[in-house]
Amino acid sequence: MKITSLLLFVAPFLSVANGFVVRPVSVHRPLSSPTSPLYSKEELSVVDEMCIENVAEFCLNESCDIEEYEALINQLQDQRDLISEHVSKIDGLLAKLRDHDADQ
Number of domains the chain is built from: 1
In-domain check, residue 31: no
In-domain check, residue 30: no
Its domain, for residue 49, covers 45-104
Q: What is the pTM (predicted TM-score) of this model?
A: 0.52
In-domain check, residue 92: yes
In-domain check, residue 104: yes
Q: Output the CA–CA distances (angstroms, integers) from residue 31 to 35, 36, 62, 89, 97, in the order listed.
A: 8, 12, 35, 31, 41
In-domain check, residue 98: yes
Q: What pLDDT does 25 receive?
A: 53
In-domain check, residue 72: yes
Task: Give residues with Cβ within 8 angstroms of 51, minimum separation 6.
Answer: 38
* Per-residue pLDDT of the chain in tens (104 residues, 90 and over written 9): 555 554 555 555 555 555 555 555 555 454 544 555 555 578 888 898 899 889 889 988 988 889 988 999 999 999 999 999 999 999 999 999 999 878 77
In-domain check, residue 4: no
